[in-house]
Amino acid sequence: MKIKCPKCKGNADLAPDFTLVTCQDCNLEMSYGEYVKYVAHNDVTYSDILGDYAGSTEGQTAGTLDEWD
């Protein structure tokens, strides 16, 4: 299965059993678990989504604490 290479943005190959990600363009080779972590740390869009989520959660927590006072 072809997936986007996190290193060179080319076509990487995900093994049919989801264990290994390889890219012939840049000789990338990592487990799928490592791939997911790599993408999460390097994909700016994904980080933005997490940042927004943390921000809204903080707001809700503050509001809840105020109500308890």
By CB under 5 A, name the binding residues for Zn ion: 5, 7-8, 10, 23, 25-26, 28
Is beta strand 11-14 parallel, antiparallel or unpaired with respect to 28-31?
A: unpaired
SS3 content of the chain, % helix, strand, coil (to 5): 50, 20, 25
**Smallest distance from the beta carbon of 47 to Zn ion, in angstroms?**
21
In the bound state with Zn ion, the residue whose beta carbon lies nearer, of 1 and 54, is: 1
* Distance in angstroms (rounded) separating the CA atoms of residues 6 and 8: 6
**Smallest distance from the beta carbon of 3 to Zn ion, in angstroms?**
10
Write down how long the chain is: 69
**Smallest distance from the beta carbon of 5 to Zn ion, in angstroms?**
3
In the bound state with Zn ion, the residue whose beta carbon lies nearer, of 5 and 35, is: 5
